[in-house]
Structure 1
Amino acid sequence: MSKSIIVPQAKQGLRNFKNEVAGELGVPFKEYNGDLTAKECGSVGGEMVKRMVQQYESTIK
């Protein structure tokens, strides 16, 4: 099964968002992140989800 990207522009936007959050949290993201801990990577992903939910909730009120 091949993966198709529904909104190609979102890929770069999410990458930028991930790098922004990582920078704010002090997690040194780069091209290869295999040397980072699961806790470091998870903190970035968790913060991204938190902010996306907050953004969504602010638009529906």
Structure 2
Amino acid sequence: MSRKLVPDAKNGLSKFKTEIARELGVPFSDYNGDLTARQCGSVGGEMVKRMVAEYESHLK
């Protein structure tokens, strides 16, 4: 069974995803079935890149 460790994180991640998509010019909406895997991957990859950078900045 899957449970959310931080239930409130879903809204924050959704907002973050929309922000990144806008910056990259990827047209995210309620339905994203028309997007290519490359477009979706670029958004997800950028999200991970920024989250790792933020985490690493707190380690220093």
TM-score tier (shorter): over 0.9
Structure 2 equivalent of residue 22 of structure 1: 21
Structure 2 equivalent of residue 57 of structure 1: 56
Q: Which runs of 4+ in 1 moved over 4 A?
A: none
In structure 2, how many angstroms separate the alpha carbons of the residues matched to 1:50 and 1:30?
A: 22
User: Unaligned stretches of 5+ in structure 2?
Assistant: none
CA RMSD of aligned residues (A): 0.7
User: Unaligned stretches of 5+ in structure 1?
Assistant: none
| Residues 24-51 of structure 1 deviation map (CA, whole Å, 9 limit, x = unaligned) | 0000000110000000000000000000
In structure 2, how many angstroms separate the alpha carbons of the residues matched to 1:28 and 1:12?
A: 19
In structure 1, how many angstroms separate the alpha carbons of the residues matched to 2:42 and 2:22?
A: 12
Aligned-pair identity in percent equals 68
Q: Which residue identity is paired with 2:45?
A: G
Aligned residues: 60
Q: Where does 1:1-61 land on structure 2 (aligned, <5 Å)?
A: 1=1, 3-61=2-60
In structure 1, how many angstroms separate the alpha carbons of the residues matched to 2:35 and 2:24?
A: 13
In structure 2, how many angstroms separate the alpha carbons of the residues matched to 1:39 and 1:24?
A: 15
